[in-house]
Structure 1
């Protein structure tokens, strides 16, 4: 399909993609999909349905300054006049622009995902984008009543439980008398990623709005979205302990190992172990492969935290964590108690062999066989004995254990959560 740049200044690049449909889609980029060559936001999906497209791509994180948009409008007006049906489409910064410039560009329908009302710190409490606010180009940048019109159809998609985006929605809502709202709970600011679908985009552009139809389509798309499960799990993990198991039981998927970030992956594994459901099948569904498998029976626990849990090394997350005795017994192929002696280095037994537990300054642990050389960036962990407590240290830092069973090293040996007990408790 033919493409040409039809306007460009220091803030935006505007590209016309000629199609064969009767509809013109004005597709706005966002912070991620900024101007790069001749690319257009949602280009593959729009080409699939042969839409004529004006792609307005930000060159900087400047939220489509009005001065640039007014100059652009004068340049592209001859193209706009060729179409009776013009649809605006964008997310976040692009959703903001789609609403704000709906009158300027004479758009009949606007589809905005998680839009902002403004990024002016004097206008909104949300500080995610405050660093990009520039008073010299953003005077009265909030969406104004005279920039929108009741004759236009506005569709907004957002997560009503995500406070930052809800603030913007509540400020936009009074300005839009003809507005349809689709709630997408537990997706945070990632609604556009969750609902990335060529067919759904086509529905938004072409279909008359019917709330039942669109919620049905949204449910179908989000259940196929890996982004959706990632956000749902992150949101529900601490509040609804059985949610993870229900998702794993009711869905047949195997996620890529890079699907979760390290912290969320650790929390998911920990939740499975606490629920005594750390099966190989459940771990594989989450794209998690253990680095080692321990086959020997574990019976003795020796380091207890202030939360009355026991400190172990997790062979899946490769982290020091704490669990109840029952959780360790149920997942003993993955959770190894430490082998410690007062005022000595920390070891553990794995498949009848002794390993040193080491760490580097990035918090990455490695197990090194006793007698083998350490990597230059690795240091040993020490189990120290004081008058009335024990502690576990890395260089000048001390291990702190929280109520959720996660641990991290802090520069404060007097913290209550750093104090450990050396006991001879047994799993029955």
Structure 2
């Protein structure tokens, strides 16, 4: 059934195929599809980048991760910062839905971080995702949040009023909705709070800021959180036990020292108690 759906898409979009690997090209995007299993499809959305190598040749986000698990993957690779709001991309997804691609799999999971976290949430209804894992997503960068959200100037010209931006509606049918973020981050916490979904599972890693996939990877939490989201069996006590090891992250030390800079006694105490930089792990 997946092969039939891919054949239908191949008649409408420019496509290259090699074995069980399809690469679709549409304006602004390359979409890669790897067919490994008809049990599970994981749809991934790239995070925002400072620079964008050509999408047709760069490695898809999480492609190796999924290959090691034998999972089929549909990877959306943009050519520039877009927050996946181009109507042409939504048209492709709706064409894939109509062709029966997503319905060919027993389980669909959407997966992404930052800008890709928004994509994972926004396209959940179209893909029929039963599971979604979004890490520090930007949920709304429209005019109504610009009193406090000023990080992404390139997103201000986009249309944040489209129905696909109503994330409460888009994730209503998701069974396991996991969102990972720093609850003390000035920007990421209020962004996560904008997701109007009572069934959202909030996974907190305090005082590490943005770039959550890198922090989860450093803590050896990325694979367990992914696998447990996929099976709908998140082990929250185990997650928080491991998350306590964040004191071994270099980023955690940087954030804590910056936040206590005005409180000299606490700042000195933290410098004394936290490990030296060369004993820490992860990006700064």
Q: One fold, TM greater than 0.5?
A: yes
Alignment of 1:24-423 (within 5 A): 24-32=41-49, 35=55, 37-65=57-85, 67-77=87-97, 78-125=100-147, 126-135=149-158, 138-140=160-162, 142-172=165-195, 175-196=196-217, 197=220, 199-200=223-224, 201-206=226-231, 208-219=233-244, 222=246, 225-236=249-260, 238-239=262-263, 240-241=266-267, 242-248=269-275, 253=279
TM-score w.r.t. the length of structure 1 is 0.52
8 Å Cα contact 1:11-1:60 kept in structure 2 = yes
Hey, what's the Cα distance between the residues in 2 that align with 1:204 and 1:41? 18
> Residue 138 of structure 2 aligns to a residue in which SS?
coil
Superposed CA RMSD: 2.9
Q: Is the 8 A contact 1:92 1:113 kept in 2?
A: yes
Cα distance in 1 for partners of 2:155, 2:115 equals 11
Secondary structure of 2:274 counterpart: helix
Structure having greater relative contact order (Cα 8 Å, sep ≥ 6): 2
How far, CA to CA, are the matches of 1:205 and 1:130 in structure 2? Answer: 34
User: Which structure: greater helix fraction?
Assistant: 2
> Unpaired segments of 5 or more residues in structure 2?
1-18
| Matched residue count | 252
Query: Counting strand residues as a fraction of each chain, which structure ranks higher?
Result: 1
TM-score of the pair, normalised by structure 2: 0.76
Q: Residue 205 and residue 252 in structure 1: after superposition, are their counterparts in 2 closer, same or farther (change >3 A)?
A: farther
Other structure's SS at 2:61 match: coil
Partner Cα distance (2:258, 2:230) in 1 = 31
* Counterparts in 2 of 1:199 and 1:254: CA distance versus 1, 3 Å: closer
Gaps of 5+ in 1: 261-428
Deviations 1:78-108 (A, max 9, x none): 3212112111111111111111111111100
> 2 CA distance for matches of 1:130 and 1:143?
21
Structure 1 residues 3 and 236: CA distance shift in structure 2, 3 A: farther
Supply the distance in 1 between the matched residues of 2:135 and 2:104 (Cα, whole angstroms).
27
Q: 2:31 is matched with which residue? A: 14
